[in-house]
Amino acid sequence: MKAISSSKGASIQTGTILRCADNSGANLLEVISVMGFKGIRRAKPTAGIADVVICRVYSGNEKVRHQVFKTVIVRQRKEYRRANGMRVEFEDNAGVLVNEKFDPTASLIKGPIAREAAERFKTVGKIASIIV
């Protein structure tokens, strides 16, 4: 994975409900852990834009419901600052389901995604309709 060029505000914790931004059949995702989080004692694992989290499908069609997937966070409500000084925030928290090689399991992403997520995960950026 490539490093991102912004200072992300890590606002997504375990237990957060994300909207699924792809057409994989899932609607809502619940974050159960954050990959690569090295925290301190009694600190909740947090993630931000373009991070990989492990999610349980909270609601969706019957084939994917209650299954566990790796997810890339492509939108977050908490504003974050880019290297050029611009601040970016989205309307919702959203993620895209990916496999072990971080390739998306779906064929289409609904809505905009952050430029940082598209830079870090090239295959996610290829199927996105709008990159902000």
User: Which is nearest to 18 in space by CA: 61, 44, 62, 54?
Assistant: 54
What average pLDDT does the chain have?
92
- Residue partners of 69: CB distance under 8 A and separation at least 6: 26, 29, 54, 55, 57, 97, 98, 105
pLDDT score for 20: 95
Per-residue pLDDT tens for 23-49? Answer: 999 999 999 999 988 888 998 999 999
- Residue partners of 122: CB distance under 8 A and separation at least 6: none
Rounded Cα distance between 40 and 28, Å, is 29
pLDDT score for 40: 86
Question: Looking at the whole model, is its pTM more than 0.85?
Answer: yes
% the chain with pLDDT above 70? 96
pLDDT score for 74: 96
pLDDT score for 71: 96
The CATH code belonging to domain 12-131 is 2.40.150.20
Per-residue pLDDT tens for 94-121? Answer: 999 999 999 999 999 999 999 999 999 9
Fill in the DSSP letter of residue 72. E
The phi and psi torsions of 130 (rounded to 5 degrees) equal: -135, 130
pLDDT score for 5: 67
Q: Give the containing element (helix H, strand E) for 116.
A: helix 115-120
Q: Provide the token pair at 116.
A: 């940082």
